[in-house]
Chains A and B, each alone.
Chain A
Amino acid sequence: MLRPEAGPAQGRLSTAAHADQFAVHGRRPVRWLGAAIALAPVLLYGAIGSLLAFVFNVILWDSWSRVASAYFVVFSRDPHLAAIGFVWNPLPTVALLPFMPLQLLAPGLVREGFAANTVSALFMGAAVWQLWRILNDLNVRRVVACTLTLMFAVHPLIAFFGANGMSEAAFLFFLLLTARHLALWLREGTTQALAMTAVGLALGYLTRQEAVAPAAATFLGVAAVTFTRSSGGRKQRLTAATADLLVVGAPFVFAFTAWALASWAIVGSPFEQFTSAYSISAQRSLIATDVAYNVGAELVHQVRHLVQQVFGLAPAVAPMALVAFAVALRRRDPHVAAIILVFGSVLAFTALAFLTGRTFGWLRYYIAVIPMLFVLAGCALSQDPLAGRRSKRATSSRRERLRAASRPIASAVGTALILAATALSIPSAARTMLDPELNRGDDGIQFLSLMRAGASEDADVTAYDAGGAVARYLDDKGLPTGAVLVDVASGLSVVLHSADPKQFVITTDRDFEAALADPVAFDVQYLLVPAPQGQHDALTSEYPGLYQNGAEIADLEWEFDPPGMFDWRLFKVTSPAAET
Chain B
Amino acid sequence: MVRLPPAFHAERRDGRTCRRCAYGPARRAYCRRCSDTLDRGSTVPKDSRTAAHDRWESIPGPRHLTRPFVVKPLRVPEDAVPRELSAAYTVTPRQALVLRVAAGALVIGLVANAAATAIALVAVATALYAAATLFRVRTFTLALGKGSDIVVEQTEALAIWDRSLPMYTVLVPAFREPQVIGALIANLDRLDYPRDRLDIKLLLEDDDAETIRAAQAAVTGDHMELVRVPYSEPRTKPKALNVGLRLARGRRHGRGLVTIYDAEDRPDPLQLRRAVAAFRRAGTKTACIQAKLAYYNADQNMITRWFTAEYATWFSQLLPGLVRQGVPIPLGGTSNHFRRTVLEQVGGWDPHNVTEDADLGIRLHRAGYRTEVLDSTTFEEANSDFVNWVKQRSRWYKGYMQTWLVHMRNPVRLWRELGPSGFVGFNLFVGGTPLLALLNPVFWTLTLSWFLHSPAFIVALFPPWLYYASLASLVLGNFGFVYMAMLSAQMSHAPGLVLAATLSPVYWGMMSIAAIKAAIQLVQAPSFWEKTSHGLDRAAGEVPQRAET
The answer to whether A and B assemble together is yes
Docked-complex contact A7 and B268, CB < 8 angstroms: yes
Q: What are the interface flags for A172-216 relative to B under an 8 Å C-beta threshold, 1 for contact and 0 otherwise?
A: 000000000000000000011011000000000000000000000
Is B486 in contact with chain A by the CB < 8 A criterion? yes
Complex-state Cα separation, A16 to B146, whole angstroms: 12
Is A420 in contact with chain B by the CB < 8 A criterion? no
Is B154 in contact with chain A by the CB < 8 A criterion? yes
Complex-state Cα separation, A192 to B373, whole angstroms: 20
Contacts A250-B483, A250-B502 given; does A191 touch B491 at CB 8 Å: yes
Please, which residues of chain B bring their CB within 8 A of the CB of A16?
151
Complex-state Cα separation, A172 to B491, whole angstroms: 29
Docked-complex contact B496 and A81, CB < 8 angstroms: no
Docked-complex contact B487 and A2, CB < 8 angstroms: no
- Segment touching B, from A47-55, A114-122, A237-245: A237-245
Q: What are the interface flags for A240-282 relative to B under an 8 Å C-beta threshold, 1 for contact and 0 otherwise?
A: 1011101100110010001000000100000000000000000
Cross-chain pair count, CB within 8 angstroms: 82
Is B280 in contact with chain A by the CB < 8 A criterion? no
B541 → chain A closest CB, angstroms? 14
Please, which residues of chain A bring their CB within 8 A of the CB of B483?
195, 250-251, 254
- Choose among B270, B298, B499 the residue that contacts A1 (Cβ–Cβ < 8 A): B298
Docked-complex contact A9 and B154, CB < 8 angstroms: yes
B492 → chain A closest CB, angstroms? 7
Q: Max chain A CB contacts within 10 Å: which of B144, B377, B495? A: B495
Docked-complex contact A195 and B487, CB < 8 angstroms: yes
Complex-state Cα separation, A192 to B317, whole angstroms: 12
Complex-state Cα separation, A318 to B375, whole angstroms: 48
Is B83 in contact with chain A by the CB < 8 A criterion? no
Please, which residues of chain B bring their CB within 8 A of the CB of A233?
none
Docked-complex contact A1 and B494, CB < 8 angstroms: yes
Is B468 in contact with chain A by the CB < 8 A criterion? yes
Q: What are the interface flags for B390-433 relative to A under an 8 Å C-beta threshold, 1 for contact and 0 otherwise?
A: 00000000000000000000000000000000000000000000
Docked-complex contact B479 and A254, CB < 8 angstroms: yes
Docked-complex contact B464 and A247, CB < 8 angstroms: no
Please, which residues of chain B bring their CB within 8 A of the CB of A254?
479, 483
Docked-complex contact A2 and B494, CB < 8 angstroms: yes
Please, which residues of chain A bring their CB within 8 A of the CB of B258?
none
Docked-complex contact A250 and B482, CB < 8 angstroms: yes
Please, which residues of chain B bring their CB within 8 A of the CB of A247?
486-487, 490, 498
Docked-complex contact A9 and B464, CB < 8 angstroms: no
Is B369 in contact with chain A by the CB < 8 A criterion? no
Is B308 in contact with chain A by the CB < 8 A criterion? yes
Is A12 in contact with chain B by the CB < 8 A criterion? yes
Please, which residues of chain A bring their CB within 8 A of the CB of B154?
9-10, 13
Please, which residues of chain A bring their CB within 8 A of the CB of B451?
265
Q: Max chain B CB contacts within 10 Å: which of A13, A242, A246? A: A246
Contacts A192-B144, A247-B486 given; does A240 touch B495 at CB 8 Å: yes
Docked-complex contact A8 and B495, CB < 8 angstroms: no
Is A563 in contact with chain B by the CB < 8 A criterion? no
Complex-state Cα separation, A7 to B499, whole angstroms: 23
Docked-complex contact B498 and A243, CB < 8 angstroms: yes
Tell me which residues from 88 to 130 in chain A have a Cβ below 8 Å from any Cβ of chain B.
Answer: none
Q: Max chain B CB contacts within 10 Å: which of A8, A240, A254? A: A8
Is B379 in contact with chain A by the CB < 8 A criterion? yes
Complex-state Cα separation, A12 to B491, whole angstroms: 11
B496 → chain A closest CB, angstroms? 5
Docked-complex contact B294 and A1, CB < 8 angstroms: no
Q: Max chain A CB contacts within 10 Å: which of B298, B299, B376, B493? A: B493
A146 → chain B closest CB, angstroms? 27
Is B153 in contact with chain A by the CB < 8 A criterion? yes
A131 → chain B closest CB, angstroms? 23
B322 → chain A closest CB, angstroms? 19
Docked-complex contact B468 and A2, CB < 8 angstroms: no
Complex-state Cα separation, A4 to B295, whole angstroms: 9
Docked-complex contact A9 and B490, CB < 8 angstroms: no
B377 → chain A closest CB, angstroms? 5
Contacts A9-B270, A9-B375, A250-B483 given; does A242 touch B491 at CB 8 Å: no
Complex-state Cα separation, A194 to B298, whole angstroms: 24
- Choose among B153, B296, B377, B499 the residue that contacts A242 (Cβ–Cβ < 8 A): B499
Is A11 in contact with chain B by the CB < 8 A criterion? yes
A93 → chain B closest CB, angstroms? 14
Is B538 in contact with chain A by the CB < 8 A criterion? no
B158 → chain A closest CB, angstroms? 12
Please, which residues of chain B bring their CB within 8 A of the CB of A403?
none
Docked-complex contact B498 and A8, CB < 8 angstroms: no
Contacts A1-B298, A192-B144, A250-B483 given; does A80 touch B464 at CB 8 Å: yes
Instruction: Considering the complex, give the chain B residue whose CB is closest to the CB of A196.
Output: B144
Docked-complex contact B144 and A258, CB < 8 angstroms: no
- Choose among A8, A194, A265 the residue that contacts B377 (Cβ–Cβ < 8 A): A8
Instruction: Considering the complex, give the chain B residue whose CB is closest to the CB of A10.
Output: B154
B448 → chain A closest CB, angstroms? 13
Tell me which residues from 111 to 147 in chain B have a Cβ below 8 Å from any Cβ of chain A.
Answer: 144
Is B475 in contact with chain A by the CB < 8 A criterion? yes
Contacts A250-B483, A251-B483, A254-B479 given; does A4 touch B266 at CB 8 Å: yes
A23 → chain B closest CB, angstroms? 13
Please, which residues of chain A bring their CB within 8 A of the CB of B499?
242-243, 246
Complex-state Cα separation, A7 to B291, whole angstroms: 13
Please, which residues of chain B bring their CB within 8 A of the CB of A265?
451
Complex-state Cα separation, A411 to B534, whole angstroms: 77
Complex-state Cα separation, A192 to B451, whole angstroms: 35
Q: What are the interface flags for B439-455 relative to A under an 8 Å C-beta threshold, 1 for contact and 0 otherwise?
A: 00000000000010000
Docked-complex contact B486 and A2, CB < 8 angstroms: no
Please, which residues of chain B bring their CB within 8 A of the CB of A251?
479, 483
Complex-state Cα separation, A265 to B379, whole angstroms: 46
Please, which residues of chain B bring their CB within 8 A of the CB of A12?
151, 375
Q: What are the interface flags for B457-498 relative to A under an 8 Å C-beta threshold, 1 for contact and 0 otherwise?
A: 000000010001000000100010011001101111111101
Docked-complex contact A2 and B294, CB < 8 angstroms: yes
Tell me which residues from 32 to 52 in chain B have a Cβ below 8 Å from any Cβ of chain A.
Answer: none
B136 → chain A closest CB, angstroms? 16
Docked-complex contact B377 and A9, CB < 8 angstroms: yes
Contacts A1-B496, A2-B494, A11-B493 given; does A246 touch B486 at CB 8 Å: yes
Docked-complex contact B295 and A258, CB < 8 angstroms: no
- Choose among A11, A80, A191 the residue that contacts B490 (Cβ–Cβ < 8 A): A191
Complex-state Cα separation, A244 to B266, whole angstroms: 29
Tell me which residues from 3 to 51 in chain A have a Cβ below 8 Å from any Cβ of chain B.
Answer: 4, 7-13, 16
B368 → chain A closest CB, angstroms? 31
Complex-state Cα separation, A449 to B59, whole angstroms: 93
Please, which residues of chain A bring their CB within 8 A of the CB of B482?
250
Docked-complex contact A242 and B493, CB < 8 angstroms: no
Instruction: Considering the complex, give the chain A residue whose CB is closest to the CB of B464.
Output: A80
- Choose among B144, B151, B268, B296 the residue that contacts A2 (Cβ–Cβ < 8 A): B296
Complex-state Cα separation, A438 to B295, whole angstroms: 63
Q: What are the interface flags for B268-309 relative to A under an 8 Å C-beta threshold, 1 for contact and 0 otherwise?
A: 111000100000000000000000001110110000000010
Please, which residues of chain B bring their CB within 8 A of the CB of A258?
475, 479
Instruction: Considering the complex, give the chain A residue whose CB is closest to the CB of B479.
Output: A254
Docked-complex contact B376 and A9, CB < 8 angstroms: yes
Complex-state Cα separation, A250 to B270, whole angstroms: 37
Complex-state Cα separation, A81 to B465, whole angstroms: 9
Docked-complex contact B490 and A4, CB < 8 angstroms: no
Instruction: Considering the complex, give the chain A residue whose CB is closest to the CB of B271.
Output: A9
The 9 listed contacts between A and B (C-beta, < 8 Å) are A2-B296, A8-B377, A8-B492, A9-B376, A10-B154, A191-B491, A243-B498, A244-B490, A265-B451
Chain B interface residues (CB < 8 Å from chain A): 144, 151, 153-154, 266, 268-270, 274, 294-296, 298-299, 308, 375-377, 379, 451, 464, 468, 475, 479, 482-483, 486-487, 489-496, 498-499, 502
Chain A interface residues (CB < 8 Å from chain B): 1-2, 4, 7-13, 16, 79-81, 191-192, 194-195, 239-240, 242-244, 246-247, 250-251, 254, 258, 265
Closest 6 pairs between A and B when the two form their complex, measured CB to CB? A243-B495, A243-B498, A4-B379, A4-B296, A191-B490, A191-B491
Known A8-B294, A9-B274; further 4 A-B contacts with Cβ < 8 A: A8-B492, A195-B487, A244-B495, A258-B479
